[in-house]
């Protein structure tokens, strides 16, 4: 039997650390194995394209050019949400500069 404890963001206050440590200690004392699995939220190129109003091909070109960090999961590209946010900020800056040049 296994128990899953999922934290998607840091809980408020400081007591949660103590409670978590007590739970981990209790599981170890009971002879159970405790595994901590850290996951990074990711997006597909299609999701990035949809968010920015671009084509998937354009997103893939930006990945190949090194402008958008991505990693491979099998034969698929995945983009960490943090990397997407960084790229989005620079992309919006590019758009702003391009529009400013037009005026």
HEC readout, 30-75: CCCCCCCCCCCCEECHHHHHHHHCCCHHHHHHHHHCCCCCCEEECC
Whether the pLDDT of residue 36 is over 70: the answer is yes
pLDDT band at 11 (very low <50, low <70, confident <90, very high): confident
Q: What is the CATH number of the domain that holds 97?
A: 1.10.1660
* Structural domain contains residue 33: no
Write the pLDDT tens digit of every residue in 72-84.
999 999 999 999 9
* Structural domain contains residue 59: yes
* Structural domain contains residue 34: no
* Structural domain contains residue 91: yes
User: Whole-structure pTM over 0.75, yes or no?
Assistant: no
Number of compact structural domains in the chain:
1
Please tell me the predicted confidence (pLDDT) of residue 88.
96
Please tell me the predicted confidence (pLDDT) of residue 1.
67
In which domain, by residue range, is 96 found? 42-102
């Amino acid at each position: 039997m296994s128990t899953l404890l999922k934290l998607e963001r840091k809980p408020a206050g400081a007591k949660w650390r103590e409670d978590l440590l007590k739970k981990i200690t209790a599981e170890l004392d009971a002879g159970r194995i405790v595994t901590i699995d850290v996951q990074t939220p990711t997006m597909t190129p299609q999701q990035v394209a949809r968010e920015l109003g671009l084509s998937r091909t354009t997103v893939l070109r930006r990945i190949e050019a090194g402008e958008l960090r991505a990693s491979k999961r099998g034969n698929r590209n995945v983009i960490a949400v943090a990397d997407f946010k960084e790229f989005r900020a620079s992309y919006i800056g590019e758009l702003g500069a391009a529009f400013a040049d037009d005026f």
